[in-house]
């Protein structure tokens, strides 16, 4: 039975994420155009434009909803890149040990010492905008987390009898690592991926806010938030408020889901250890 706290977080996170994705789906189904401009510049929220219009007359609801695709896609690309490189490197480093482990651990520890957003800003400034480039810039900063998690798990199980017996019957390194060892790390990887999706959304928005994210006029929450802040002092609060709310909702959803999954996996692991 799941702990009540973890059930609540999983349910809450799932609901928030579904709401965010539903807005994006609605925009595509109805066929709203986030690029269309009009003469209604900085029009406040109304029946015609439920979230108002921005400085060039674009419907903010369309841009905020359509921006879900790009914001989540870039965050997802960053997570996939960080999982692929960090997990595989951590597995090989922990399995082989020696100089390989010392060198890779030193490199990833040095990378871990820097905030992921700082790393993303530096790399994004060098390689330029784009979905893959922005995803790569953000993903590099999260690689050390997966490296440390997977390496620690590999180190804890590589001397167990079932690994030694599998090696004795002639199993290769690839079989040992990918078929018999990495599966033990999958629950931790999944929970960390969910949490990093929330962090990735913040980093995507941060790069967009600084003008280093997706190129305009791509609808992206951070970019629209950054452009809308210039009009807050004149009383137009809506161009920046609604993209900001979407960022908060998405991050909250993935954070709750990730924390809930982490508690579920930890509880299951504890119960399994108690049996043995």
Q: What is the pLDDT of residues 12-31, one digit of tens each?
A: 888 888 888 888 888 878 87
Domain of 50 in residue numbering reads as 4-275
Mean local confidence (pLDDT), 212-222: 88
Q: Specify the number of domains making up the chain.
A: 1
Of 3-17, 226-240, 260-274, the least confident: 260-274
Share of the chain above pLDDT 90, in %: 53
pLDDT given for residue 1 in this prediction: 57
pLDDT of residue 160: 82
DSSP string, the chain: ---HHHHHHHHHHHHHHHHHHHHHHHHHHHT--TT---S-TTPPS-SSSTT-B-TTS-BHHHHHHHHHHHHHHHHHHHHHHHHHHHHHHHHHHHHH-HHHHHHHHHHHHHHHTS-HHHHHHHHHHHH-SSHHHHHHHHHHHHHHHHHHHHHHHHHHHTTSHHHHHHHHTT--HHIIIIIIIGGGGHHHHHHHHHHHHHHHHHHHHHHHHTT-SSPTTS--HHHHHHHHGGGTTTT--HHHHHHHHHHHHHHHHHHHHHHHHHHHHHHHHHHHHHH-
Percent with pLDDT over 70 in the chain: 95
**CATH value at residue 110:** 1.10.3720.10
Confidence (pTM): 0.88
């Amino acid at each position: 039975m799941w702990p009540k706290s973890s059930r609540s977080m999983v349910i809450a996170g799932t609901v928030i994420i579904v709401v965010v994705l539903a807005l994006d789906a609605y925009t595509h189904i109805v066929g709203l155009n986030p690029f269309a401009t009009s003469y209604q510049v900085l029009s406040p929220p109304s029946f015609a434009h439920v979230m108002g219009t921005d400085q060039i007359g674009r419907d903010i609801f369309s841009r905020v909803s359509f921006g879900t695709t790009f914001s989540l896609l870039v965050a997802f690309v960053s997570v996939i890149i960080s999982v692929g490189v960090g997990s595989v490197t951590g597995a090989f480093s922990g399995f082989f040990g020696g100089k390989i482990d010392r060198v890779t651990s030193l490199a990833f520890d040095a990378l871990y010492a820097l905030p992921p957003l700082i790393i993303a800003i530096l790399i994004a400034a060098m390689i330029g905008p784009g979905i893959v480039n922005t995803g790569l810039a953000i993903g590099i900063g999260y690689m050390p987390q997966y490296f440390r998690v997977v390496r620690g798990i590999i180190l804890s199980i590589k001397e167990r009898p079932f690994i030694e017996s599998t090696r004795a019957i002639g199993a290769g390194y690839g079989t040992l690592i990918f078929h018999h060892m990495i599966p033990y790390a999958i629950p931790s990887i999944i929970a960390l991926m969910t949490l990093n999706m929330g962090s990735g959304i913040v980093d995507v928005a941060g790069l967009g806010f600084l003008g280093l994210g997706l190129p305009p006029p791509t609808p992206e929450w951070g970019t629209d938030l950054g452009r809308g802040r210039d009009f807050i002092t004149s009383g137009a609060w809506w161009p920046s408020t609604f993209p900001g709310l979407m960022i908060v909702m998405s991050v909250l959803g993935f954070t709750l889901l990730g924390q809930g999954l982490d508690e579920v996996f930890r509880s299951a692991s504890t119960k399994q250890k108690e049996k043995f």
